[in-house]
Amino acid sequence: MIQNILGGRFRNSCMAIRYSTDQLDFGRRGLFEEKSGDVSAKNDIRLKQFFSFLKTIIMRYSYSIIAMLLASSMAFSQGLLLEENFDYAAGVPLRDHGWTPHSAGGTNPLQTGTTPLSLPNTPYVGNGIGVSALVNNTGSDENKPFLSSVDTGSVYAAFLVKAGGEVTSSGTGFFFHLVTYSDPANPDFTSISTAFRARTFITTGSDAGSFRLGLNFNAAAVPSNVGVDVTSDLDTAETYLVVVKYTFISGPDNDEVSLFVFENGDPISTEPATPTLGPYGGTAGDAPILQAVALRQYNSEQNIIVDGINVRTDWDFEDLSNISATSPLSSLEVSVYPNPATTGVLHFKAPIAAPLTVTLRDVTGKIVLEEQTQQSINVSHLNAGVYLATILQNGRLSTQKVVIQ
């Protein structure tokens, strides 16, 4: 069951999304509307038209425009629970932008920083927008509600994080968690249940330049079991994408949390089969319902920057137009062969040996395959026909027509 907390905001959000989707859909309807007759031949002609059109766009504009066109076929954001990119001025209190203190609100209110966080080579939807949030002091802990409450399925809370400096033993603790309001049916945003779920920690690494992230279902004690509830060393100079997952499972005291960590260049098109940490439960009871995220300040030596919070009921964090906030996508030289594919396998040859993220769309724009590879993918399960392949490597993009026979 999904309950609407903020109906008006949710509707506004949907309207905004629908508006942009309709705009972007124009090209696809016009090119691919054929439903009968010699579909493959007509689609072939239409694909030629499409690529001619793309070529014109390339010459006149940039590859980032292509990425926007491709992104038009991506999912309508039905699963969105919260999007917070801190697209505000620098140095302003978060409480001016929908956040509410629930603890020590009078002391050191959470504020925005001066620059955004971004993974320039990973197409995360929250990359490089506005500024960020500084979670770097003792004092005010603040929450922001979801568009809807959730008590079934999974909640995926993604955000960018940077340690922002050395993490000392006094600077370790949980800085992020999921929230149930004290009165779930009639929330007062200043009052949250103290049974925090999916407490996400920062802890010391093996040297001054490294840190670790930890996760507890509910407990406040700093986790310490590397590979189980604490990651291996991460770099204090780098930004990471973290996805905190809470899964409701039918029955008492059996829900699970897990945590995924991505570094710059990692693909994020699909949920990895194995999380970085978890899944595991805890000794505390299940969350009755989840309604918000919280950022927590616990120590003047914590040094944490958070940005691009995107919370969803599904895994849909990719936006190909959002590879780099500062420069458009450049083109990738990659050979795809044999094309037409007659053997059920597509091979790829790129100038450098790094993972390629391959997405195949059918002529309706529907994604039929997404896979990471350095060499080849199996397409034997796909119907014969014409497909649009987008191939992404280290922030470079190639779009190609692929025929499967």
Query: Which residues lie near Ca ion (CB under 5 A)?
Result: 85-86, 104, 116, 129-130, 141, 249, 254-255, 286, 297, 307
Angle at alpha carbon of residue 149, lines to 86 and 98, rounded to 5°: 30
Smallest gap from Cβ 4 to Ca ion, in A, equals 23
Smallest gap from Cβ 404 to Ca ion, in A, equals 40
Crossing angle between the packed helical segments 63-71 and 39-60, to the nearest 10 degrees:
140
Q: Is the peptide bond before 116 cis (omega within 30 degrees of 0)?
A: no
Smallest gap from Cβ 145 to Ca ion, in A, equals 19
Smallest gap from Cβ 116 to Ca ion, in A, equals 4
Residue whose CB is less far from Ca ion, 105 or 165:
105
Residue whose CB is less far from Ca ion, 249 or 284:
249
Smallest gap from Cβ 361 to Ca ion, in A, equals 29
Residue whose CB is less far from Ca ion, 25 or 253:
253
* Distance in angstroms (rounded) separating the CA atoms of residues 240 and 131: 16
Residue whose CB is less far from Ca ion, 151 or 371:
151
* Distance in angstroms (rounded) separating the CA atoms of residues 244 and 397: 29
Q: Name, in order, each residue with C-beta under 8 angstroms of 176's C-beta and a sequence gap of 6 or more.
A: 157, 159, 198, 199, 200, 244, 293, 294, 295, 296, 306
Residue whose CB is less far from Ca ion, 114 or 206:
114
* Distance in angstroms (rounded) separating the CA atoms of residues 205 and 232: 8
Nearest Cα to Cα of residue 218 among 273, 160, 282, 169:
282
Residue whose CB is less far from Ca ion, 107 or 378:
107
* Distance in angstroms (rounded) separating the CA atoms of residues 145 and 3: 12
Q: What is the DSSP string of 92-119?
A: -BGGGGT-EEEESTTSS--EE-SS----
| Pairing status of strand 330-331 against strand 396-404 | parallel
Smallest gap from Cβ 204 to Ca ion, in A, equals 20
Residue of minimal CB distance from Ca ion?
116
Smallest gap from Cβ 160 to Ca ion, in A, equals 8
Which residues pair with residue 93 across a beta bridge? 111
Residue whose CB is less far from Ca ion, 65 or 249:
249
